[in-house]
Structure 1
Amino acid sequence: MNKAAEHRRAEACDAELGTAVERAQAGDEDSFAIAYRIVQPGLLGFLRGLVGEDAEDVASDAWLEIARDLGRFRGDGAGFRGWTAVIARHRALDHLRRQKSRPRGSLIEQDLLEMPGIQDTAGEALESLATERALEVIATLPQDQAEAVLLRVVVGLDGPAAARVLGKRPGAVRTAAHRGLKRLAQRVTNTGARALGGSR
């Protein structure tokens, strides 16, 4: 999918999310369920990158807070995505403090592979193979790069929104995401070159 089509799809998704959030704030439970279905896959992937197998428990805590404070939220669909990521990150950091551990290796493969797509089956299969290779490396990235990549790619936040989630300047988050994606690209390129060399 080209960047323009991907951008239009993201805008349409955020427009749908914004409408669902607005209706949910007015008490429409079905609209809250729609907002949940749109946001949860990316949010769960982000949390798996931070807390590993405990992501679903942390996500449940985050959604309780999101539901409780929904009336206070002001913004559009993209803003809601960022707001939920901030809440989820705070719950993840609380969880890690309680566990007295560092973020564990990422288990986001399943979440990413289950995310809905509009490509054909063959395209999805090729994308899944590339995604699996990239996910193997995400777990090895420094924490700031891993979080930036997860927020930008998995959750779908733009630079300023990801910066707000992490409490950093947008430039620092863009740099961390760029470095992380560059490492991912280098690893995939190196793996491909070794595979080609080995098949001769």
Structure 2
Amino acid sequence: MGQGGEPRRTQTFDGELGAAVARAQEGDEAAFAVAYRLVQPGLLGYLRGLVGEEAEDVAADAWLEIARDLGRFRGDGAGFRGWTATIARHRALDLLRRQKVRPRQSVLEQDVLELPSRHNTAEQAFETLSTERALALIAELPRDQGEAVLLRVVVGLDGPAAARVLGKRPGAVRTAAYRGLKRLARELGVTEDGPDTLGESR
């Protein structure tokens, strides 16, 4: 994972993703397949954290909407990841409403934590987990923390982009992700050597 909670892989493929999306908007089906390949793993991980075994079905519905509305998208590769996560989240919440399972409301103090440090021990520990174990641990977090961690660590969104997906202030999302990662660290028996951060500018 890269500094500030964004996996390095997303930083490296965002240029390729942006170019693929631009070509896909011009009707290049192969380019759309490239965009799908780059985005789908993180998107599916996010949805597994929200709806469990229904993730693949929800992702399929989301991609139908993404393909339909692709011409309306404006932005770069990072923006496309945020846009697709927003669509996927809406489809997941639709499913949860149909199942009469409502997300818990987020209860956060506003920007009360210090968010410093370059060494994120919690994220380093989190990297070593299998996907299944990681998602199982995230599922035990309060929903606001779990979604923030999924968007920051699994999808690889920065703070402002994750905040747009969730309809919250960036500081609230940073706080929720910070708390979630700290809680995961405790579950894993990891102790932080110093203050932690997901990046103040993110």
Q: TM-score range by the shorter chain?
A: 0.7 to 0.9
Give the whole-Å Cα distance in 2 for the aligned partners of 1:64 and 1:76.
Answer: 20
Contact 1:43 1:59 in 2 (8 A): yes
Give the whole-Å Cα distance in 1 for the aligned partners of 2:166 and 2:89.
Answer: 8
* 1:58 maps to 2:52: no
* 1:18 maps to 2:18: yes
Give the whole-Å Cα distance in 2 for the aligned partners of 1:186 and 1:172.
Answer: 21
* 1:136 maps to 2:136: yes
| Match of residue 179 from structure 1 | 179
Give the whole-Å Cα distance in 2 for the aligned partners of 1:67 and 1:2.
Answer: 29
Contact 1:44 1:59 in 2 (8 A): yes
Contact 1:58 1:88 in 2 (8 A): yes
| Match of residue 45 from structure 1 | 45
* 1:70 maps to 2:96: no
Give the whole-Å Cα distance in 1 for the aligned partners of 2:135 and 2:83.
Answer: 25
Contact 2:49 2:135 in 1 (8 A): no
Q: Which structure has the larger Rg over C-alpha atoms?
A: 1
| Match of residue 170 from structure 1 | 170
> Offset of 1:12 from its aligned partner?
2.5
RMSD after superposition: 2.4
Structure 1 pair 71/160, CA: closer, same or farther in 2 (3 Å)?
same
Give the whole-Å Cα distance in 2 for the aligned partners of 1:73 and 1:2.
Answer: 26
Give the whole-Å Cα distance in 2 for the aligned partners of 1:9 and 1:147.
Answer: 20
> Offset of 1:2 from its aligned partner?
6.9
Give the whole-Å Cα distance in 2 for the aligned partners of 1:182 and 1:58.
Answer: 29
The normalised TM-score by structure 1 is 0.77
The code of the aligned residue for 2:179 comes to R
The code of the aligned residue for 1:185 comes to A
Contact 1:134 1:188 in 2 (8 A): no
The code of the aligned residue for 1:40 comes to Q
Range moving further from structure 2, 24-33 or 128-137? 128-137
Structure 1 pair 8/56, CA: closer, same or farther in 2 (3 Å)?
closer
- Answer 1 or 2: higher relative contact order, Cα 8 Å, separation at least 6: 2
Structure 1 pair 129/149, CA: closer, same or farther in 2 (3 Å)?
closer
Give the whole-Å Cα distance in 1 for the aligned partners of 2:55 and 2:171.
Answer: 28
Contact 2:7 2:156 in 1 (8 A): no
The code of the aligned residue for 1:137 comes to L
The normalised TM-score by structure 2 is 0.76
Give the whole-Å Cα distance in 2 for the aligned partners of 1:137 and 1:182.
Answer: 12
> Offset of 1:8 from its aligned partner?
6.0
Q: Determine what percentage of the aligned residue pairs are the same residue.
A: 79
Which ranges in structure 1 are unaligned for 5 or more consecutive residues?
A: 104-125, 192-200
> Offset of 1:136 from its aligned partner?
3.4
The code of the aligned residue for 2:100 comes to K
Contact 2:24 2:30 in 1 (8 A): yes
